[in-house]
Amino acid sequence: MPELRRDPFTRSWVVIAPERADRPQRTGPATPRPAPAADPDCPFCPGHEQDTPAEVWRLPADRDDPAGAWAVRVVPNRYPVLAPGDRAAHHHTTGLHTRADGIGSHEVVIESPSHDWDLPDGNDTAVADILRAYRARCLALRGRRPGLVLPFRNHGAAAGTSLPHPHSQIVATPIVPLRFRQLFDVARTYYDDHGRCLYVDHTAAELADGERVVATSDGVVALTPYAASTPYETWIVPRHHQASFADAPDDILDQTAALLRRLLAALRDLLGDIPYNYALISAPNGEEATTYFAWHLQIAPRLTDPAGFELGTGIAVNPVPPEHAAAQLRQALTADAAPQPAGAQVSSRARARG
C-alpha cells in the first residue's frame, strides 16, 4: 500500500508509492556524456577566457603560479537570472501585485579546464576545490540583507543543463524565498518546543536508526530523507551544528567533498548517467549564527516527471522508498570502495555510458 509521509523540515506531504515503479517510465541514461576533451566553441574551455566576463574568483592549477593555468574559475553569468548589483530591491505594490527590481547576482563556477570531466571522475581534492569556490563566493555575497546565496548544479538536459562543460552556479537573491521562510519557521518552532536544533536531532536520530544512512565520516553524514520527494534523493548533512556552509572549516569541507564524489559515483554506477540537480542550502543572509538551522546539500535525481497530481496538490510521488534507495546506494558505495584491478573504474564509467 502506498504511504503518505510528512517531511519534518517543511511539513509538506509526499506519497511513497513503490507500486508506481511497475508502470512504464523513463529509466537509464537520459543524456549522452560529452565526448570531446575540448570544444573550440565552448566559452568555458581554456583559451576562451575572454569570452566570459572578468572572473571574480580563481584557483590556480599551480598554487605558486596564480596567474598561470587555472583549476577552477568563477565568472559572472552572461545571461543572469538576476542582474548584478548591490542596491536594495525596493518593493512596489499596486493593488494585489508586488514587484521589485531583479538585482542580485548570478555566477558560473567553471569546475575544471577539461570539457569532458565530471565530478565522480575526479579525485576528492578536485571536488573539494569546487566546494572551496562555493564557500568563498557565499562568504563574499552574503552581505546583502535580506537575501540568500544558493550554490547549485544541474546535470543532464532533463535537469536543466544547457552547456556540457562541467560547471555549477551560484545565485544571490534580494529576497528570502518562501521555501526558506517555511524551513525557518518549522525549525524555529521545533527549537521553541525542544530547545534543540531540528537538523542536528534529525541526523542523530537517523544515525541511531541506520536504515536510511548511506555513508558517514567524522563530521558529515549522507542519508536518504524519510520523506524523499524524488527517487534516490540524498542529503549530505553536518553531524554538528553549522547554519551556513560558508562557515564550514576545511576538514568538514573536505569530508563533504569526499562523500559527494563517492555518492555521485555510486548513483552513476547504480543508475547510469542520470540527470540530477543538487543545491547547497544554508541559512539566509544574516542568520548565520542561528542555533536552530543547519546547512545541507540536497541531491535530487530527476527520474520522475511531476504531472497533474503534483501540480494540483503539491504532493510529490516517489516510487522508490528511501530505505531501499539507501540500501542500494550503500551497496554501490561498498563496491566503489573495494580494491579494484587497474582499469576497473574506466570500465564502470563505460558501462554507465552504454
Q: Which of ligand UDP, Zn ion, none is residue 43 near (CB under 5 to 8 Å by kind)?
A: ligand UDP
Which of 9, 44, 190, 226 is close enough to bind Zn ion by CB under 5 A?
Answer: 44
Does 108 bind Zn ion (CB under 5 A)? Our answer is no
Q: Which of ligand UDP, Zn ion, none is residue 239 near (CB under 5 to 8 Å by kind)?
A: none
Closest alpha carbon to 326 in 202, 212, 204, 210: 212
Q: Which of Zn ion, ligand UDP, none is residue 292 near (CB under 5 to 8 Å by kind)?
A: none
Could you tell me the smallest distance in angstroms from the CB atom of residue 106 to ligand UDP?
7
Beta-sheet pairing, 97-100 with 91-94 = antiparallel
SS3 90: coil
Could you tell me the smallest distance in angstroms from the CB atom of residue 350 to Zn ion?
22
What is d(CA 115, CA 35) in angstroms, rounded to the nearest whole number? 9
Does 45 bind Zn ion (CB under 5 A)? Our answer is yes
Does 167 bind Zn ion (CB under 5 A)? Our answer is no
Q: Which three cell numbers stand for residue 204?
A: 542523530
Shorter beta-carbon distance to Zn ion: residue 42 or 204: 42
Could you tell me the smallest distance in angstroms from the CB atom of residue 278 to ligand UDP?
11
Residue number with the shortest CB distance to Zn ion? 42
- Single-letter code of the amino acid located at 55: E
Residues interacting with ligand UDP, by CB under 6 A?
43, 51-52, 77-79, 108, 154, 160-163, 167, 169
Shorter beta-carbon distance to ligand UDP: residue 160 or 306: 160
Shorter beta-carbon distance to Zn ion: residue 47 or 314: 47
SS3 101: coil
Shorter beta-carbon distance to Zn ion: residue 55 or 247: 55
Q: Which of Zn ion, ligand UDP, none is residue 162 near (CB under 5 to 8 Å by kind)?
A: ligand UDP
Strand boundaries in the chain, DSSP class E:
3-6, 13-16, 57-60, 70-76, 83-84, 91-94, 97-100, 103-110, 148-155, 167-173, 213-216, 220-223, 234-238, 276-281, 296-301, 316-318
Q: Which stretch binds Zn ion (CB under 5 A): 31-39, 151-159, 181-189, 254-262?
A: 31-39
Cα–Cα distances (Å) from 324 to 13, 46, 50, 342, in that order, read 19, 42, 48, 31
Could you tell me the smallest distance in angstroms from the CB atom of residue 115 to Zn ion?
3
Q: Which of ligand UDP, Zn ion, none is residue 42 near (CB under 5 to 8 Å by kind)?
A: Zn ion
Q: Which stretch binds Zn ion (CB under 5 A): 12-20, 114-122, 123-131, 255-263?
A: 114-122
Closest alpha carbon to 114 in 45, 189, 210, 196: 45
Catalytic residue of the set 167, 240, 241, 324? 167
Q: Which residue has the cell 580563481?
A: 58
Shorter beta-carbon distance to Zn ion: residue 32 or 210: 32
Which of 142, 165, 167, 268 is close enough to bind Zn ion by CB under 5 A?
Answer: 165
Beta-sheet pairing, 316-318 with 167-173 = unpaired
Shorter beta-carbon distance to ligand UDP: residue 167 or 302: 167
Is the backbone peptide bond immediately before 319 cis, with ω within 30 degrees of 0?
Answer: no
- Vertex 243 angle, CA 238 and 246, to 5°: 90
Q: Which of Zn ion, ligand UDP, none is residue 45 near (CB under 5 to 8 Å by kind)?
A: Zn ion
Could you tell me the smallest distance in angstroms from the CB atom of residue 72 to Zn ion?
14
What is d(CA 246, CA 14) in angstroms, rounded to the nearest whole number? 31
Edge-to-edge order in the sheet of strand 3-6: 3-6, 13-16, 316-318
Does the active-site annotation cover 324? no
Contact residues for Zn ion (CB under 5 A)? 39, 42, 44-45, 115, 165
Q: Which residues are catalytic?
A: 167
